[in-house]
Amino acid sequence: MINHIRALRKARQLTQAELAEQMEVSRNTINSIEMGRYIPSLPLALALARFFGRPVEEVFDDQSG
């Protein structure tokens, strides 16, 4: 699964630590999501999409299409 978290985060000029604080997760979790090593839970994926004001489908892509 690919995601656009890094680009969205950088567009808002946020550090991984700042985004992690907003999401109430560790900086390592954000790093792992950005690197594709961790697929977030549905509640976290939805929270990230809401935070960035995007549909979850724009933030995460399962590459099936």
Write down the pLDDT at residue 34: 98
pLDDT tens digits in sequence order for the chain, 65 residues long = 899 999 999 999 999 999 999 999 999 999 999 999 999 999 999 999 999 999 999 999 987 65
Write down the pLDDT at residue 65: 56
Write down the pLDDT at residue 63: 78
Write down the pLDDT at residue 35: 97
The DSSP annotation for the chain comes to -EE-HHHHHHHTT--HHHHHHHHTS-HHHHHHHHTTS-PPPHHHHHHHHHHHTS-HHHHEE-S--
| Domain spans of the chain, in order of start | 2-61
Confidence (pTM): 0.92
CATH number of 2-61: 1.10.260.40
Q: Is 41 left (phi over 0), alpha (psi -120 to 50) or beta?
A: beta
